[in-house]
Structure 1
Amino acid sequence: AVAEGWGNLKVRLVFGGDVPVPAKINVNKDVNFCGKHGLVDEGLLVNKENKGIANVIVYVRDKGVSIHPSYESDDPIMVDNTKCRFSPHVTPVWTKRTLMLKNSDPVGHNVKVDTFLNPPINPVIPSGAALKQTYTKTEPLPTKISCSIHPWMTGWLVIRDNPYVGVADKNGLVEIKNIPAGELEFQFWQEKVGYVREVELDGKTVLWNRGRVKLTIEDGETLDLGDVTVPAKLVK
């Protein structure tokens, strides 16, 4: 299907509760290097100034959507092992593009990728090395990545057959641009919450079954949902 125009989605995810303080990581491997970076648990990062929730994932669930030409790129999508963490913590991976797993640290890492529909991998990536990886199938949910050498290291890949994936920044803001116009189903997910199945919107409690909501994108317009509050009770 060819889209009859393109629009954008904007939303800010806000934590409905006291701002949690991320736990410090107990660094017990490669302590001389990894121990100097002040590592914390990145599972739930809430901005203490504006309560924005980082790393909430929003993506289009519909199959066979039109792809805007602005997304075409031959550059690899990078995930770096740097300062004993995965950077970025959450990475959208469109199946048309190549993923590059790299290691900028002076210590070795392995990258265990626990996919369901694509073959799982667990390569060792020596210091300064990089490895290319491709995926052909959409994964039903975000895919956990981890490092067995440094067990605190976790991150997520969002492997989809379209590029319409947004990840909340440190202020909780998600923007997805050049989405095909029309009604689409969007998935909202966060690693400590899972499906964002209940939110507060315009002062009212709204239930999103399995974290899914149908939204209509208008040609040439930005649909701005404003602040969407995620209640603290959803955190597992």
Structure 2
Amino acid sequence: MRRLQVVAVLSVVAMLLTGARPGETQAPKQPYRIQSTAVAPVGVSALSGNTGVVEGTVLFSGSVPKRKPLRIETEEEVCLAKPHFDERLIVSARGEVRNVVVSLENPPPGSDPAALGSEFAVHQRNCTFVPHVVLVPVGVPLKVYNHDGILHNFHALGKRNRPFNLAQPKHRKVLQRKFRRPEIVPIKCDVHRWMKAYVVVVDHPFHAITDGEGHFRIEGLPPGRYGLHFWHETLGELEKQVTITAGQVTRIKVTYPAVTEPSY
């Protein structure tokens, strides 16, 4: 009985400190730093009898914002080969949000980011960074391709990682760079001011980026209770607690409140 009382008291204290109730989605907070986990490597498997999966959808509660065309004023023969629209808030007709970074805040010990893969790249096509948000593990080269045959530059504005600015003229088809510390790094091209993107540097594999249907999936989680953190460049940050059961898929939905339209 005494042990149960101690557990109950600790649970109440934890709730008071975090200000959250089980399963509650918290309001955005700023800023966010990708959590560091210095641990020995262990691989991540998909759904098995010993692990579980969390997947879900990120939604937008307001009226679906209309994407505005961008004003292109430089090297139009290349940059205007395809239409350009503001990428900072992409919401489907059903209110599903693209390019939300979903991160596990308390990853299990021994999580190896190598489970995310070995090849990570950003492509510059028609004066656009593709993808707009990309994951890359610490210490793994990020390759940057120039498909346009014109001058670009890859300007990384890190805080925990040293900022750098690399010119990429038309003859330099690919360059690569490593990041040493976890964080979300803004990227831009100074030659074409509308070109912006984000590199999400991680040191464990339990991250995902929502697709065009607002969907994400994180696999290989041991049973237990975890915190999920949601980051979007315009909508800000949310948190949600989830419970993972071995051999099962936990499905959730998270909704961002409406915001005013961003502007350059």
Q: 1:58-105 CA distances to partner (integer Å, 9 max, x unpaired)?
A: 1112367432698164x3201111121111111011115321111111
Q: 1:197-217 CA distances to partner (integer Å, 9 max, x unpaired)?
A: xxxxxxxxxxxxxx2233222
SS of corresponding position for 1:53: coil
SS of corresponding position for 2:70: coil
SS of corresponding position for 1:123: strand
Tell me whether 1:122 sits opposite 2:154 in the alignment: no
- 2:143 — aligned with what? 100
- 1:16 — aligned with what? 61
* C-alpha distance 72-55 of structure 1, shift in aligned 2 (>3 A): closer
Structure ranking higher in strand proportion: 1
Identity of aligned residues (%): 26
* C-alpha distance 148-180 of structure 1, shift in aligned 2 (>3 A): farther
Which amino acid letter does the alignment assign opposite residue 243 of structure 2? Answer: T
- 1:66 — aligned with what? 110
* C-alpha distance 64-221 of structure 1, shift in aligned 2 (>3 A): closer
- 2:153 — aligned with what? 110
Q: CA deviation at 1:232?
A: 0.8
SS of corresponding position for 1:92: strand
* C-alpha distance 77-70 of structure 1, shift in aligned 2 (>3 A): closer
Q: 1:15-44 CA distances to partner (integer Å, 9 max, x unpaired)?
A: 112111111110011111102310000000
Q: So what's the TM-score if we normalise by structure 2? A: 0.74
- 1:232 — aligned with what? 258
Larger radius of gyration: 2
Tell me whether 1:217 sits opposite 2:244 in the alignment: yes
Pick one of 178, 194, 217 that aligns with 1:152: 194
Which amino acid letter does the alignment assign opposite residue 150 of structure 1? Answer: H
Alpha carbon RMSD of aligned pairs, Å?
A: 2.4
Separation in 2, partners of 1:68, 1:5:
17
Q: CA deviation at 1:218?
A: 2.1
Aligned pairs (5 A) from 1:1-236: 5-48=50-93, 50-62=94-106, 65-67=109-111, 71=115, 73=117, 75-127=118-170, 129-139=173-183, 142-195=184-237, 211-225=238-252, 227-233=253-259
SS of corresponding position for 1:32: helix
* C-alpha distance 87-138 of structure 1, shift in aligned 2 (>3 A): same
What is the total number of aligned residue pairs between the two structures?
216
SS of corresponding position for 2:201: strand
Structure 1 gap segments, 5+ residues each: 196-210
SS of corresponding position for 2:164: coil
SS of corresponding position for 1:144: strand
Q: So what's the TM-score if we normalise by structure 1? A: 0.83
